[in-house]
Amino acid sequence: MKNMEKMLSHYSDISVCTGKSVSGCELFGKRLRLPPGEYRGEFFWGVFKDMETVCKGFKAAGVAAKIKKDDEKKKDLGLIFSEKPATVAAVFTRNKVQAAPVLLDKERIRSGMAQAVIANSGNANCCTGEQGMRDAVAMSDYVSSGLKLSQDSVLVASTGVIGKPLPIGKIESAMPKLIAALRSNGFSDFAEAVMTTDTFPKMISKQGKAGEKSFSMIGIAKGSGMIRPDMATMLC
């Protein structure tokens, strides 16, 4: 914490949250307002359980599916759901070794539309052959069935250990809990669910106006070192 404070000492309006000393934040975190000209707004990091981060028309969730053997209480299965079909774009790794979810999404994203993204951590479903592709499709089937969506409107992402079969049974068992957990301010739970070696969840929320219309943006990222070459296995 002290090293982080020193690193950010040249910024203005930094507040440190411990316990619940700052409204909407528990455990620990920081609120940072960068100087005008660099960035206008606020950046939050830490574990924010009660922060009202919402984006109209979208819901998210994150639950523990027991994919991670080191700590079965950690969230490791997440879902983002758009109430209406949404325009979608993606950047994929150019690595020759591509996981089943990457191959599946590259095909599905050609339509330019999607309505849900299911993601897991603890297992990358990479180098898993034909079974890996079947498991990726199964993950999307669970979502499309549970939310009454077309199968092709569901994208899949996996991150974690490479070369081991995805424990698809655990994911299937956790689906009712995951869908029931969907809520408008569930993005912090999703951010936790895609963590592997990350030391904290990464999320940013911004509001703005385009003409007379207001809008909200939420960004969630996973990973800190898995970005080379060309995004490598980065899930973002």
Q: Tell me which residues are annotated as active site.
A: 233
What span, in angstroms and rounded, lies between the C-alpha atoms of 54 and 45? 16
Counting other chains too, the contacts that 16-25 makes at CB distance below 8 Å and 24 or more residues apart are 17/46, 24/48, 24/50, 24/51, 24/52, 25/49, 25/50, 25/51
**How far is residue 194 from each of residues 2, 16, 68, 220, 222, measured CA to CA in Å?**
27, 25, 11, 9, 6
What span, in angstroms and rounded, lies between the C-alpha atoms of 185 and 52? 6
Tokens of 2: 């002290």
Q: Which amino acid is at 140?
A: S
Other beta carbons less than 10 A from residue 47's beta carbon = 16
